[in-house]
Amino acid sequence: MPRTPLPLTQDIDSLSILDEHGNLDHELEPELSNEKLLELYRAMVLGRKFDERMLDLQRQGRIGTFPPTKGQEAAQIGCSAVLEKKDWFVPSFRETPAEIHRGRSLESILLYYNGFNEGARIDPKQRDLPMSIPVASQILHAVGLGMAAKYRKTDEIVMSIFGDGATSEGDFHEALNCASVFRSPVIFVCQNNQWAISLPINKQMHSKTIAQKAAAYGMPGIQVDGNDILAVYSAAREAADRARRGEGPTFIECVTYRIMMHTTADDPSRYRMNEDVEKWKKKDPISRFTRYLIDKNILSEEGSKAIEKEILTEIQSSVEYAEKTMKNIGNPLEMFDHLYDELPPYTQTQKKELENLLAARGEGNHG
Ligand SMILES: Cc1ncc(C[n+]2csc(CCOP(=O)(O)OP(=O)(O)O)c2C)c(N)n1
């Protein structure tokens, strides 16, 4: 028999627990205390409100370029919720809500997006890597961290998050292969938000799912509704338990959607259909979770408003504190000092522009 089907048997499931119409699969509902559910809710709302404020600040010229996360809160918080303090979190640039949930301060993020080195400094007690801007590069770092944890015989695990575009990079494939071979305790989370800047997913790959790529590397993989925090949490919980038992990596594809622009530097109306955006807005992860909590009598309309109010106050005082701090630390012009011996002409122009801007704002040299 020269030609027979190969016995490839790995199944890839698709998981949804709370759908967009509020239907709940009771059998699959994860066991979470009311306290934990409220913690997740607050983290999602904080992520959303801070994201909205960051967009306003950018439009007012009070921060630099920023990548919004609106619509991806369930994917982010559902995953970060399974990590413990001792575990490692390895994000890319879009993971602001999850970083906050892990303990990063709003002030630090505000400083970062204003170009201050102080905002890139991570508390050594916090096991988070700085956000990675080179797409997919951080996935390899996560595998290495996992291998180190394994050699040291700790039960720490690692989570790396990235977008659909990252799966087209060589680093992604090297990372999955290496993790599988060495059984590195990593949870790979792909936030399939349908777009890599202006490139839609159907022009980027012909595989029907991203989750199926796990099978190629011999590791468990699952596709989840990324706007359903219960599904994301359950898949991440399974993956974390597996990694902690020493059974190696897992790949999770969270199917979600980037409601806003890729970054504040681009205009999605030039490449994307508004109907799609409207369709996805109806699947909003926060309204879906709010309804679930209200149905379970864990949250009330008034309770939800009170949480929102408290969050807005927290954001406001962080913005005020960060803006005051920025007047008293460092000199933004120093960013031009460390890259070149002699500045190229276009960078000299940029330096001059910043000098003029600071002078116009009466901020002198910030020093
Ligand atoms: C190695 C590398 N190539 C190109 C870029 C430019 N770039 C920035 S974000 C991006 C798209 C990323 O898309 P995806 O991985 O899906 O993440 P998303 O932004 O959608 O969260 C690209 C190509 C980069 N930062 N790094």
Closest residue by Cα to atom 17, ligand 1, is 163
**pLDDT computed for residue 142 by the predictor:** 98
pLDDT above 90: residue 337: no
Q: Cβ < 6 Å from ligand 1: which residues?
A: 94, 133-135, 162-166, 193, 195-197, 258, 262
Q: How far apart are CA 364 and CA 7, in angstroms?
A: 70
Contact 196, 99 (CB under 8 A): no
Q: Distance from the CA of 168 to the center of ligand 1, in angstroms?
A: 10
What's the per-residue H, E or C state across the chain?
CCCCCCCCCCCCEEECCECCCCCECCCCCCCCCHHHHHHHHHHHHHHHHHHHHHHHHHHCCCCCCCCCCCCCHHHHHHHHCCCCCCCEEECECCCHHHHHHHCCCHHHHHHHCCCCHHHHCCCCCCCECCCECCCCHHHHHHHHHHHHHHHCCCCCCEEEEEEHHHHHCHHHHHHHHHHHHHCCCEEEEEEECCEECCEEHHHCCCCCCCCCHHHHCCCCEEEEECCCHHHHHHHHHHHHHHHHCCCCCEEEEEECCCCCCCCCCCCHHHCCCHHHHHHHHCCCHHHHHHHHHHHCCCCCHHHHHHHHHHHHHHHHHHHHHHHHHHHHCCCHHHHHCCCCCCCCHHHHHHHHHHHHHHHHCCCCCCC
* CA torsion through residues 353, 69, 196, 221, sign: positive
Q: Distance from the CA of 354 to the center of ligand 1, in angstroms?
A: 27
What value does the mean pLDDT of the chain take? 95
Which residue out of 135, 141, 173, 257 has the highest number of ligand 1 atoms within 8 Å of its CB and is therefore the one to mutate?
A: 135
This prediction has a pTM of 0.94
Cβ-Cβ contacts under 8 Å for 361 (sequence gap 6 or more): none
Atom of ligand 1 nearest to the CA of 193: 20
Q: Distance from the CA of 253 to the center of ligand 1, in angstroms?
A: 17
Contact 131, 218 (CB under 8 A): no
Which residue out of 197, 199, 256, 263 has the highest number of ligand 1 atoms within 8 Å of its CB and is therefore the one to mutate?
A: 197
The catalytic site residues sit at 258, 262, 271
When pLDDT is averaged across residues 244-262 and rounded to a whole number, the result is 98
**pLDDT computed for residue 367 by the predictor:** 38
Atom of ligand 1 nearest to the CA of 135: 26
- pLDDT, one tens digit per residue, over 73-86 is 999 999 999 999 99
Atom of ligand 1 nearest to the CA of 92: 21
**pLDDT computed for residue 1 by the predictor:** 66
**pLDDT computed for residue 358 by the predictor:** 84
Atom of ligand 1 nearest to the CA of 162: 15
Closest residue by Cα to atom 8, ligand 1, is 135
pLDDT above 70: residue 101: yes
Q: Distance from the CA of 138 to the center of ligand 1, in angstroms?
A: 12
Confidence of residue 330 (pLDDT cuts 50, 70, 90): confident
| 25 class by beta-carbon count within 10 Å (0-12 exposed, 13-18 middle, 19+ buried) | middle
Nearest to 206 by CA among 170, 179, 167: 167
* C-alpha distances out from residue 214 to 77, 177, 239, Å: 22, 9, 13
- pLDDT, one tens digit per residue, over 161-211 is 999 999 999 999 999 999 999 999 999 999 999 999 999 999 999 999 999
- pLDDT, one tens digit per residue, over 9-53 is 899 999 999 999 889 999 999 999 999 999 999 999 999 999 999
Q: Distance from the CA of 272 to the center of ligand 1, in angstroms?
A: 17
